[in-house]
Structure 1
């Protein structure tokens, strides 16, 4: 995992006398994430920007556009601004600034592929993922029970929202935070599917855990880097312990802002579980999970997906040293946002299997550090025929309950 530090973060521009500008793909024109070097410099910097903002409104000022959109709660050294070229130059030259990152759009783990119900007649048992993770052999034994149920643990699903009224959540799902200031409704469906694998009554691992919706993706499944960081930061500031968080989303590039937010989340005592992400572009050089955030974060458990047949790595999942473990992610039955159920595939759905198992362990009183260690140590090794270059050959395992 430490190898990710030598991978280029983003395109970087800057001079010796100015802070670096971290460039990205799918930029939001004129919107930037500004990182201040330390907490004691934030007030002075904000006062300076407020002064420049007032000047920008004067016809004689000659100062560029400056508008503070918001700052993070747990980490107030991160601020999001609207800036034009003049004001960007001013910000980059300010001695309090550590770096500036272009804000951009991100999306759920290159999205989940839904399958018609007719697939169920010829494809694996609908609960094969639950069946696979509680046994060491690949031949399914139809035991889908687990030792424990996650009662008392809080699972934060940072995603597109959750249909909290779905009958399979049994009133255990709550709308916690919505970056859009809306009601947290899942108009995309992605978040409800992830939550269903983590903790729904029928298809979930931790069937008694509390589920908290943290919405950061819109109805198209699209979100901003700044909003994703804000959602992670909100969990850092407000989560109830014990806590695990699912991060089934991806940037097309790495993001230092998201990496730092995941680090803060982990250090707060909440366990982040991130998607190794899908590759839908079929570009071999782009299959490495270390090129994406939050997949590359060493503070998260980063998950790849296996297919239902012979423990093979799913064709769509990425590989590399930034992965920590694999879990089922192919033809997974779960909850849907319309109140029904759906069969779907995607690395996004491998994440909640791991988050659910983490919840089982957290419910027993283990610390998040010990849970991470336990998950990796309990994993079935050398069962994936070709895990991909640099990938750990580990498959998720947890103790079965009574059959």
Structure 2
């Protein structure tokens, strides 16, 4: 939803969101009567519940990694069944920042070679990955041994707790922060170099999340989201 002029609605508001010129919203706790009142305003597009989201489980100048430790690495660059070599550009993601919106990252893990750092925590007071999922995802994105882009810079955006769950509004808050960081605060990715985002998490369909993702895409930032993990 966008905004409401009701002072009572403002009293229940907890967070505001603004991503580009596309998505403006707020979240909070409201009773049924207040929700009905808010929805009656012409400048409110829609209202939706704050769902719980969870981790998703279940060329030229090429460099080669032989006998790769992960089946998936070989599949990325080889059409031959049973291949065990991963071919990748020698730049290996250097100059690119990947924002991993998840449970956090173990930034001191040796596989990251000092390329991982903490960005922002939206779920608790522990700047650590107490679940492990975010570190696993970051390893797939840019780990030295298991990663696709072995030279990328990794930024932890923590939106899920030790149990691997969090609120949809918290996830959107992480998306908003990452977009501003990646765009240098002016809404365009060109201001701060190359950036990508990854969200390996899932929950019910959310129009708010979709609009936030569109705002990020429109700003020129690539976003990868998990799909196909549920039946």
Range into which the TM-score falls when normalised by the shorter chain: 0.7 to 0.9
Q: Is the 8 A contact 1:241 1:270 kept in 2?
A: no
| CA–CA separation in structure 1 for the residues paired with 2:8 and 2:103 | 36
- Is 1:214 the counterpart of 2:157? The answer is yes
Secondary structure, in 3 states, of the residue corresponding to 2:179?
helix
Residue in 2 that maps onto 1:71: 16
- Is 1:147 the counterpart of 2:92? The answer is no
| CA–CA separation in structure 2 for the residues paired with 1:215 and 1:238 | 14
| CA–CA separation in structure 1 for the residues paired with 2:71 and 2:147 | 12
Deviation at 1:182, TM superposition (A): 2.8
Residue in 1 that maps onto 2:33: 86
Q: Following TM superposition, where does structure 1 have runs of at least 4 consecutive aligned residues deviating by more than 6 angstroms?
A: none
The answer for unaligned runs of 5 or more in structure 1 is: 1-34, 37-41, 55-65, 113-123, 280-286, 288-403
Residue in 1 that maps onto 2:217: 266
- Is 1:231 the counterpart of 2:231? The answer is no
| CA–CA separation in structure 1 for the residues paired with 2:76 and 2:42 | 51
State the TM-score, normalized to the length of structure 1: 0.50
- Is 1:126 the counterpart of 2:78? The answer is no
Taking the TM superposition and a 5 Å limit, the aligned residue runs for 1:14-93 are 35-36=1-2, 42=3, 45=4, 48-49=5-6, 51-52=7-8, 66-74=11-19, 77-93=24-40
Aligned length: 211
Which segment is superposed worse, 260-269 or 126-135?
126-135
Secondary structure, in 3 states, of the residue corresponding to 1:129?
helix
Q: Is the 8 A contact 2:19 2:216 kept in 1?
A: no
| CA–CA separation in structure 2 for the residues paired with 1:217 and 1:172 | 22
Residue in 2 that maps onto 1:98: 45
Q: Residues 89-121 of structure 1, C-alpha deviation per residue, up to 9 Å, x if partnerless?
A: 211112221111111101111x35xxxxxxxxx
Cα separation, partners in 2 of 1:135 and 1:53, compared to 1, 3 Å: closer
Indicate which of 109, 114, 132 corresponds to 1:189: 132
Residue in 2 that maps onto 1:385: none
Deviation at 1:271, TM superposition (A): 0.3
The answer for unaligned runs of 5 or more in structure 2 is: 59-66, 183-191
| CA–CA separation in structure 1 for the residues paired with 2:178 and 2:18 | 10
Q: Residues 311-362 of structure 1, C-alpha deviation per residue, up to 9 Å, x if partnerless?
A: xxxxxxxxxxxxxxxxxxxxxxxxxxxxxxxxxxxxxxxxxxxxxxxxxxxx
Taking the TM superposition and a 5 Å limit, the aligned residue runs for 1:205-354 are 205-239=148-182, 240-251=192-203, 253-279=204-230, 287=231
| CA–CA separation in structure 2 for the residues paired with 1:244 and 1:236 | 9
What RMSD over aligned residues (CA atoms) do the two structures have, in Å?
A: 2.0
Secondary structure, in 3 states, of the residue corresponding to 1:154?
strand
Secondary structure, in 3 states, of the residue corresponding to 2:46?
strand
Q: Is the 8 A contact 1:68 1:79 kept in 2?
A: yes
* Relative contact order, higher structure (CA 8 A, sep 6+): 2
| CA–CA separation in structure 1 for the residues paired with 2:77 and 2:222 | 21
Q: Is the 8 A contact 1:179 1:227 kept in 2?
A: yes
Deviation at 1:267, TM superposition (A): 0.9
Secondary structure, in 3 states, of the residue corresponding to 2:205?
coil
Deviation at 1:181, TM superposition (A): 5.4
Q: Is the 8 A contact 2:116 2:154 kept in 1?
A: yes
